[in-house]
Chain A
């Protein structure tokens, strides 16, 4: 399989993964954000930390569209806060984790 075929396959996977009909919310269109208007007030504040800290090295959309369980988020967060220049201290990491754990529960993950 040459590089162009593999690239085409990967692009197809990406497009299929966008899954436009199932779970698509028009408020999620664009570069990647979450509508937290229905979230508890405390978690709405945590969204500010999440959106500021989790877009430093990659688009926020990467985490917005990741369908992880709470346990998977805990382990993933552990890796992220160990990245160079992450700027995420343990208190912020805990807040981000609480937000993502809640979001996972709303997604039935």
Chain B
């Protein structure tokens, strides 16, 4: 018999109204400042091969966010962020942020989890390519449905309910940033259910997941040809099923460096996910877990004051028994390699337009190319 769990998503409009009322009331009594910010982005995806769109999201995809921030005082702030896109409306953030010391800060609520460098640049206005890297893609990759690749290693933004401790320390020109968190964790029945992550905000099994991130940045002088160099590592682990029997482990490393006008970035991420040994699989189950792992390397540089170019090479592999219900094409060793070249045009402060060409080589689904364009703004 199915548990009659409640639907937080149905309560989202009431949550938003309450959050805004709270923010407004807080601003009325707070020492200052109610801040409103947001972004909007609409993109169009054209697939040349007519066989590919049957298994991909296609056409126009909108994404919008609105964020309200209230500074209660110098050390306490509240913020709430509402997003509307392919998952309809969801509360992407509802956070109380206590910041008494540079090295000791606390966030409580529905948090943006810091995994990988890309988690800082998820907003469409903060990265140059139209799409996210495959390892972090959320719903925009070909053959990304559950019966095929089931998206990437960790679709970003990864938002979860919990507590995070974070801070910064300096040693000469070297900045150390740390973040440690305890959250509800990923959820699913047999492999992670990414759709459910966006609509149910409570812990599926009562066992918290834990994780952390550490970054080291060598800070460069402002006009130096050799810009900031950063290294980072991220990890998180927990149980994702209701019966507390199936574990997952996510880990990754990232690096970025600016040299003159060129910004170079690279990230590696991997996830090991345990599977239900009692389910029926299309292959004989030997090891009851699978791995998904990949990386990307990216180069970005300006072409004058209004144009930016970006180039990306990336690979992602899924290794292990395919899930029950997978399409016949999925094999125990499925890989994708994608080449991306893109341009960003910023004609005015608030507006940007992006264009990308992508060519994908996949072991199980053939090779195909696609063109994407989008327009957006941030305020």
Q: Do chains A and B touch in the complex (CB under 8 A)?
A: yes
Shortest Cβ gap from B150 to chain A (Å): 23
Q: State whether A83 touches B120 (Cβ < 8 A).
A: yes
Q: Does A17 contact B (CB under 8 A)?
A: yes
Q: Quick one: which of A1, A4, A72, A84 contacts B114, CB cutoff 8 A?
A: A84
Q: Quick one: which of A18, A72, A85, A87 contacts B350, CB cutoff 8 A?
A: A18
Chain B residues, CB < 8 A from A29: 348-349
Q: State whether A48 touches B222 (Cβ < 8 A).
A: yes
Which A residues lie at the B interface, using CB under 8 A?
1-4, 6-7, 9-11, 13-15, 17-18, 28-32, 48-49, 51-53, 56-59, 61-62, 64-65, 68-69, 71-72, 74-76, 78-79, 81-90, 92
CA distance A71 to B89 in the complex (A): 33
Residue of B nearest to A19 (CB): B350
CA distance A17 to B304 in the complex (A): 26
Chain B residues, CB < 8 A from A89: 170, 173, 175, 219
Q: State whether A17 touches B379 (Cβ < 8 A).
A: yes
Pick the most buried of A13, A18, A75: most chain B CB atoms within 10 A of its CB.
Answer: A75
Q: State whether A82 touches B74 (Cβ < 8 A).
A: no
In terms of DSSP, what is the predominant structure of the interface of chain B? strand
Q: State whether B64 touches A87 (Cβ < 8 A).
A: no
A-B contact count (CB 8 A): 170
Q: Quick one: which of B33, B40, B223 contacts A11, CB cutoff 8 A?
A: B40
Shortest Cβ gap from B157 to chain A (Å): 14
Number of interface residues of B (CB under 8 A): 67
Q: State whether B350 touches A7 (Cβ < 8 A).
A: no
Chain B residues, CB < 8 A from A9: 64
CA distance A68 to B35 in the complex (A): 9
| 14 pairs, A vs B, C-beta closer than 8 Å | A7-B62, A15-B350, A18-B348, A31-B346, A57-B121, A57-B126, A58-B378, A65-B349, A75-B71, A81-B102, A82-B102, A82-B166, A82-B177, A85-B215
Q: State whether A84 touches B232 (Cβ < 8 A).
A: yes
